[in-house]
Structure 1
Amino acid sequence: MAGHSKWANIKRQKARVDAKKGKTFTQLSRAIIVAARNGGPDPEANFQLRTAIEKAKAASIPNDNIDRAIAKGAGTYDSDEAQLESIRYEGYGPGGVAVLIEALTDNRNRTAADLRSAFSKNGGNLGETGCVSWMFEQKGVVILEGEINEEELLEISADAGAESYEMNDDPGAEVFTEATDLEQLNRTLIEARFPVKEAELRWLANNYVEVTDPDQARSLLKLMDALESLDDVQNVTANFEMAEELMFESSRS
C-alpha cells in the first residue's frame, strides 16, 4: 500500500523523528550475555554473539563492557548477578493490534509487572502465552544501507536462498530468509560487497491492521515507546501499519 509503513519501517522512521538513542547499554549487554551463554564466547564461531557485539559497538558501548558481558555469558566472570532467561510475552494494543515482546530478564515477576503497567497505561493489555504469536513468523533479515543495484541484489540474494527483499527510500533494502539461513545470507551479501548494516531475527506478521484514527495512532506509538524503554525488553513487534503522514504527526503529538 503506497504511502503506508509496517511496524519495522515505522520504528526506523520514528527513531529519526525522535532523535533518541537506540537500545540502552543494559539491553545490549544482556543480548551479548545470552548469546555467549547459548553459543559460546567466540564471535567467529557464534553468529548471534557476533551480531550482538556489532550492535553494541554501533551504540558506542566500551570494549571493556562488551568483554565483561561475554565473560558473564561464558561463566568466566565472577558475578553475583542472577541468571538471565529469554521470555516471550504477548498482548494487545489499542484497537486489538497484536503485540509480541521478546525479553531477557532475571526477574519474571518484575518484567511482567512492568509490561502490564505499560499496556494498561496506553490502552492495551498483556495477554496469555499464545494469544497472538500464531499471527507471526520468525524470519532472518539482513539490513542494507546505501546505494544498491537492485538487479544485482536480486541475483545474489536468490543464489543465497533469500525468500524476498524490499527496497527502501533511505536508500537501502531489507533481504528476508529463513531464520536458519540468516548467517549464510549475511556472509554472502558481505562478500558481494553490499552495504550490510546488520543482520537480525525478526518476527513478521502474517496480516496487518491498518490504523487511520489519530488517537489510536498516538496511543499505539506511546505504547511501543513505553515497551521498548524497559531494560528487560529486547524487541517489540506489532501487526499494524499506518500512513507515513499519520505516523509523523502522531510522533510529534
Structure 2
Amino acid sequence: MGRIFEVRKATMFARWDRMAKQFTRIGKEIAIAVKAGGPDPDNNPALRRCMLNAKGVNMPKDRVEAAIKRAMGKDKADYEEVVYEGYAPHGVAVMVETATDNSTRTVANVRMYFNKGGGSLGNSGSVAFTFNRMGEFKIAKEGQDIEELELELIDHGLEEIGEDSEGNIIIRTAFNDFGNMSKALEERGISAISAELKRIPLNTVELNEEQSKEVLELIDRIEQDDDVQQVFHNLA
C-alpha cells in the first residue's frame, strides 16, 4: 500500500511540475504578445493564440488576466525570444526556443546542458535547415469530416491534415499562412484546442534504445530550464 501511495504521489508531483512549466511558458508568451500588439485580444492575434493555448492546458482565467496586467505594468519583465541550435549525442539536431530577460544567463545554461549531455551548442543556422517551421492547430474530431475540412481549408494554407494518437485532428500550415488558417477556423466557428508554431524535422535519425535514452535525457534537462519555451529535435 505504501509503495502504491509513493508512486501516486510521484506521479502527482510530476503532473504539477509539468503544469507549472506550461503556465510559466504561456505567461511569457503573453508578455511578448502584449508588448508587440497590445492587451486587447480582439486586435492582437498573437495574444488570442496565447489565450487559446492557456485554455488548452487548463490555465485559470484569473492567471491569464494577471499575466496580461503584468505585461502592461511598470515592473514588467522584458523578455526577448532567442533560438539556440546544436547537436545532441549521435548527430541528433536540436533547436531550443527560449524567452529570456537575461540572454547571457540563458546561453550559458544551454551550453552547459549540451556539454554535460555529450552534445554541442552550434552557431545560428547550423541545424535550422533541417527543420520546417509550420503552424499546427489541434481541433476536436467530433462533428468534423476530415475530407470535407481538407477541401474547405486547402485555399487557406493547409499543407497537412491527420489525426494524433488521442483522436484529435491535426492541421499544419506553412509558417506564413498561420494567420490565414487561424482566421479560416474562426470564420467556420471551429475552436482549436491549441495553436502553435512548431519546427518539423525534414528527416529523422534512427537510434537504438540506449542511444535514444542519452538524447532524451539531454532534451529533458534542457526543457526543465525556466528560460526554455520549447525544444525540437529530429530523433525518430
Do the two structures share a fold, i.e. TM-score over 0.5?
yes
Is 1:205 the counterpart of 2:201? The answer is: yes
- Pick from 63, 86, 95: which aligns with 1:91? 86
Is the CA contact (8 Å cut-off) linking 2:98 and 2:228 kept in structure 1? Answer: yes
- Paired with 1:198 and 1:24, the residues of 2 have a C-alpha distance of 13
After superposition, the C-alpha distances for 1:67-104 in whole angstroms (9 at most, x for unaligned) are 3322343xx3131x542111111111111111011111
Is 1:78 the counterpart of 2:74? The answer is: yes
1:46 alignment partner in structure 2: 44
Offset of 1:117 from its aligned partner? Answer: 2.3
Letter paired with 1:168: D
Structure 2: stretches of 5+ with no match in the other structure: 1-13
RMSD of Structure 2 on Structure 1 (CA): 2.2
2:179 alignment partner in structure 1: 183
- Higher mean displacement: 145-154 or 112-121: 145-154
- Higher mean displacement: 90-99 or 116-125: 116-125
Structure 1 runs of 4+ with >4 Å offset: none
Alignment of 1:57-68 (within 5 A): 57-68=55-66
Letter paired with 1:196: A
**145 and 21 in structure 1: CA distance in 2 versus 1, 3 angstrom threshold:** farther
**TM-score, normalised via structure 2 length:** 0.83
Three-state SS of the structure 1 residue aligned to 2:158 is coil
**TM-score, normalised via structure 1 length:** 0.78
1:27 alignment partner in structure 2: 25
- Higher mean displacement: 89-98 or 196-205: 196-205
Is 1:220 the counterpart of 2:218? The answer is: no
Letter paired with 1:26: T
Letter paired with 1:216: Q
Offset of 1:30 from its aligned partner? Answer: 0.8
Offset of 1:37 from its aligned partner? Answer: 0.7
Is the CA contact (8 Å cut-off) linking 1:24 and 1:231 kept in structure 2? Answer: no
Is the CA contact (8 Å cut-off) linking 2:56 and 2:193 kept in structure 1? Answer: no
Letter paired with 1:39: G
Letter paired with 1:215: E
Is 1:110 the counterpart of 2:108? The answer is: no
Letter paired with 1:135: T
2:34 alignment partner in structure 1: 36
**29 and 203 in structure 1: CA distance in 2 versus 1, 3 angstrom threshold:** same
Offset of 1:125 from its aligned partner? Answer: 1.9
2:158 alignment partner in structure 1: 162
Offset of 1:196 from its aligned partner? Answer: 2.5
- Higher mean displacement: 33-42 or 143-152: 143-152
Alignment of 1:135-150 (within 5 A): 135-147=130-142, 148-150=144-146
Three-state SS of the structure 1 residue aligned to 2:217 is helix
Is the CA contact (8 Å cut-off) linking 2:53 and 2:195 kept in structure 1? Answer: no
- Pick from 158, 163, 170: which aligns with 1:174? 170
Offset of 1:119 from its aligned partner? Answer: 1.8
Letter paired with 1:128: N
Letter paired with 1:217: S
After superposition, the C-alpha distances for 1:188-221 in whole angstroms (9 at most, x for unaligned) are 234445562111111122222122x111111122
Three-state SS of the structure 2 residue aligned to 1:210 is coil
Structure with higher RCO (Cα < 8 A, 6+ apart):
1
After superposition, the C-alpha distances for 1:136-155 in whole angstroms (9 at most, x for unaligned) are 22111111233442211221
Letter paired with 1:115: V
- Paired with 2:77 and 2:189, the residues of 1 have a C-alpha distance of 42
Of all paired residues, the percent bearing the same amino acid is: 35
